[in-house]
Amino acid sequence: MKLIAELSGEHPELPFAELELVGSILSRRPQVAVIECHTPGDTDRLALTHAVLEYLAECDADAASFTRMLRDLALTAERPFAARIKKVAGTALDLPVPELERLMGSYIAGTVRLDTPESEYRAVCSDNRCYLGRVISRIDRGSFDLRRPGSRNFFHPGVMMPRMARALVNISLVRRGEYLFDPFCGTGGFVLEAVMSGARGVGSDINPSMVSGSRRNVVDGEFFRADATALPFRSSSIHAVATDLPYGQSVSIVAASPDDLVRDALEEIRRVLIPGRRAVLVTHRDISSCAGEVMEILASYSQRVHRSLTRRVLILEK
């Protein structure tokens, strides 16, 4: 099934990485991708996507090509519809959005209803291409805001926001019914997003207050106190790992040094992971050299959180 994903602009690469959960990318431009979708039922899990469209066609980003594409398709809308255009900054298509939307509407046979359409045809114009599709679903991104850390039963400063936590859970490629484990669970953010995605979320922490707080935040998760360098799991038993490695003062309660903690925790993560599966690590310093000695680094991303903090994301495979 060929789909178009209209992506958020929160990060230049992570939205594309998240799409691997549902299929393979056939072509891409800033904030848009065409994918061959293998698991359509998982598109509702996406966090860094605005809308999912049935792929209809694509063309060069100029008025003549756009008009020719619409004419050749000869679309007929069976239900009242609206025609919408999304122009990503940097698109080569210079016509105003209202003019493009009127053009689209004039080439689609059917009843136009702009206020309450029952169907929406949408073109996303980015860089030198325009992609046209029919909207299948929109991601309810506002639902993530309802789970902001400050609104949970147990709060601790410095935790990751739900939208990014969900994206990283998705990048781990954990499937519904599989186990996702967070060995530094904190307030349970990764476990919460895993459970809401249909996976079985498990978390541990060396700090008992974090374990009890996580249980309050995620009643359907499983939590226990454990040292991340000596996990109580048999080898090759966990489908995916997603975790935010501790830093600063919190490191002192579990290891002699940050380097010791990272190295020993990585060895344990590798031990408990099923071969061929992923660990997604969030760090606040470069641990690539150490991580690469333990597992294969599939990708590495950085994201500036604020002036004094840059978040680094490592995708590892056993």
Rg, the chain, Cα only: 22
Query: Quick check: 83 and 108 in contact, CB under 8 A?
Result: yes
pTM of the model: 0.95
Secondary structure of residue 296 in the 3-state scheme:
strand
57 and 191 part of one domain: no
Closest by alpha carbon to 278, among 318, 234, 314, 244? 318
Closest by alpha carbon to 312, among 94, 160, 170? 160
Segments of the chain assigned E as strands: 2-7, 23-29, 32-37, 49-60, 81-87, 119-126, 129-138, 179-182, 200-205, 222-225, 238-244, 273-283, 296-306, 309-317
**What's the domain count of the chain?**
2
Query: Which CATH number belongs to the domain containing residue 256 in this structure?
Result: 3.40.50.150
Query: Which CATH number belongs to the domain containing residue 41 in this structure?
Result: 3.30.2130.30
Q: What is the pLDDT of residue 255?
A: 59
165 and 234 part of one domain: yes
Burial class of residue 191, CB neighbours in 10 A (0-12, 13-18, 19+): buried
Which residue has 């992570």 as its token pair?
Answer: 14
128 and 151 part of one domain: no
Q: How many CB atoms lie within 10 A of CB 78?
A: 10
171 and 299 part of one domain: yes
192 and 69 part of one domain: no
Q: Which residues of the chain have pLDDT under 50?
A: 249, 251-252
121 and 200 part of one domain: no
Q: Which domain holds residue 74?
A: 2-138
29 and 132 part of one domain: yes
129 and 160 part of one domain: no
82 and 224 part of one domain: no
The tokens of 151 are what? Answer: 């609104």
99 and 211 part of one domain: no
CA distance 285 to 311: 8
Q: How many CB atoms lie within 10 A of CB 279?
A: 26
Mean pLDDT of the chain: 94
The tokens of 199 are what? Answer: 């996976």
226 and 98 part of one domain: no
Between CA 104 and CA 114, with CA 109 as vertex, the angle to 5 degrees is: 60
The residue from 90, 110, 138 where one domain ends is 138
The residue from 83, 117, 138 where one domain ends is 138
Closest by alpha carbon to 166, among 6, 8, 3? 8
Which residue has 């099923």 as its token pair?
Answer: 274
119 and 38 part of one domain: yes
The residue from 82, 109, 138 where one domain ends is 138
Which residue has 């998982």 as its token pair?
Answer: 42
Residues constituting the chain: 318
Q: What is the pLDDT of residue 251?
A: 45
261 contact partners, CB below 8 Å, separation of at least 6 = 228, 229, 245, 246, 251, 254, 255
Q: What is the pLDDT of residue 252?
A: 44
Query: Quick check: 274 and 299 in contact, CB under 8 A?
Result: no
CA distance 224 to 216: 13
296-299, Cβ contacts within 8 angstroms, sequence gap of 24 or more: 299/13, 299/17
